[in-house]
Structure 1
Amino acid sequence: MTQLGYTAVLVLWACSTALAIQCGRIENGKIVDKVEEKTTFRCNHGYKSENGINETTCSSEGWSPVPICIVQECPHPPDIDLAEIVSGEKAEYREGDVVQYRCYPGCTLAGSERITCNGEKWTPPPKCLAPCIITRQQLETKKLLLSNGRRRTVLIQSDQTMEFLCGEHSDLKIPYFIKCVDGRMDLPTCISGTGEKCGRPPTIENGDITTLSLKEYAFGSLVEYRCQHYYIIEGDRKSYCYNGIWTKVPVCLEPCVITQEDMRSRNIDLKGESAQKRYVSHGDFVEFKCRSSFFPNSSNNYRVQCNAGQIPYPQCT
């Protein structure tokens, strides 16, 4: 600290001390500045000014207005559906207090289980996502079976997916895999197999049908696709014949091909590997390093992800 700065601190301290002696100290607060007749004060942590004013004047009759610092309280923590507070609950809450929630069994927690009193409000509370309950009666009404071919009441947690099958003499109308979303699950409908037949199923680039292709398929028939090596399948592997039309087929996402030529032009190598050519599947990560005598560029990311045949190469200089 400079001599000038040190002197300013001494002056402020002297003024504060004089004011405290003349008008009395500010309980649960402190003086932070004085400009002519105006004195600025600040309440201690966990307290706030009763009237929201942080300026006062010291006169021969004392402080005017009188600075009063009161405890800064938070409202009661919010009530959350399908949850209860398991720790930190009390009659009154102050800044810094923490409460913890717990979802009821079968519910899924979204967000932080703990919230903190921050000033006069709480940090954002979590949400408890409801599970889906599928009854035996619902399955019978919809003519549905579970993936094991049986019917029973089941509980599916939110964001979980369940596979359904249709009973005898019926075919599943897509969607085939159904996800539970916060207590809601739209069950598929099974329909009788009396619709129009389909011709040969569509072909997909860089992929094949796993079974022998026929000239004609009955309503409700299905075919399953697979991708070539290093290609990643996106979408449902199965396509159904529905009233003469095949349902949406999957896509085979292209891998990334990393060559020495590509790396040499950017002064990089694969970290820990020395292959002449490397295939990286869509969605996979790969890490590079700079070649000897070259240095990384701070704006580059050297651990990158393959995206449908495209990879963002880093550069070394």
Structure 2
Amino acid sequence: MRSSLILLFLQLWGNVQVSVSQNVTCTELPYVPHAYLSEETERAQYLEGHVIHFTCEMGYISGPTIRYVCTNGGWVDIHKGPCYLRPCELPDDTPNGYYQLIHGAEFVFGSTIKYFCNEGYQMMSRVDTRTCMLNKWSNHVPICEALSCEPPPADGRIKINGLLDNEEPILPDRFLTFGCDDPGTYLNGSSMLICGKDGKWDKPFPSCEDITCQVKEMHNHLSVAGLSTANKTVKSGHTIWFQCNSPYILDGSEAIECLQSGEWSAPFPTCTKKCEVTGVPNNVHITPNVRNNHVRTGQKLRFTCRYRGHFLRGDAVVECLADGQWSAPFPTCGDPLGCDSPPPLADGDIKGSFRFQYSHGERVEYICQNLYEMLGGPFQTCENGKWLGTMRCLRPCTVDADVMSRHNIAFKYKRYDKLYAPHNDEIEFKCVTGRPYGTLNMRSRCIDGVMPLPTCR
């Protein structure tokens, strides 16, 4: 035992191999995690007192050298170790960003960190991770730069305010305004864009577009000048002209212009068929004057007789319709016409004799039945084949006992069970016995057969 201790001491201080017994050997090597046997101490068997050295694997380190000595057929550790992962210095920070450990438990060999950028900044480096190597971190520190929005595309037609002259990046919260200076153009899109914190514009870029007017459907017989058949739109300031194929005439403006508002200066015209003015007798006068014996749709002609004593036979006003036809035949002028028997009067009769034929200028008198009052009249006159004059008979009102009993009233001054009152006549009532309360006005007036009655309660 004493000799073994002496050998161990010598090995520790002088690394001297002393053999006490040449018969004791060590064969199976001790297990040292993450370490391997040094080449200079590697052999098939070891005699008592022999010392072996272990080296840590790559990425691992130990304190003092790991050594074992062979004693009594077994290994005794002079310094056991262990091997532990080689640590790395703290990684460098990146301005405007931060890192996080994504592999490993601490900053040791093989650990990996990933860099992130703060809000408003973007990663400019292609590689954003670093790994702990033997003596340093891999890769360079990633770079975070402020987010910026893409500049608007070059467009000579659009005016942009807010761009920097030195082509500096457009940072978040900066805004640009857009407009169109060229006449005949308009801004298609938003007039103001704001650069967001994500480096993207809040709206699409606008553009300057030509102001145009839409060509509408046109009448089949309408011919157009200043417009190609393929065009469906026309730029502002452009004028087109119209005319109609015979026998149609233009109804509307001969020329219209596309305005800056995108609207036409006037509605699209249409073509209407002309109405012919023919067969008018010489003794009939027409207003207004008609040129070329044709007028357009909607135009009205007025007719009068040229000679004294003549009367117009037919409509005095005739209108040209859309199909080229007249609203009525043209009238004629001549001696006045007589009239057939006069029209009947409801609730009335003709006073005097009755005939089936009357001459121009003759008149008849009407009379209403008993208790009926005439409104208008009382004459109708034969005027060139027509009876002129209006009247009607207004009905009387009937008040009887049954009606009054339902209202709890009676005649105030008369003691009849039934009474007829002509139009516009008044009757005063009173409440029956036991019904002292009535409406405020106990007088009623007859209006064309209707008399509202008061009520007592």
What TM bracket, shorter-length normalisation?
Answer: 0.3 to 0.5
Larger RCO (CA within 8 A; separation ≥ 6): 1
* Bigger share in helix: 1
Name which one, 1 or 2, has greater alpha-carbon Rg: 2
TM-score, reference length from structure 2: 0.27
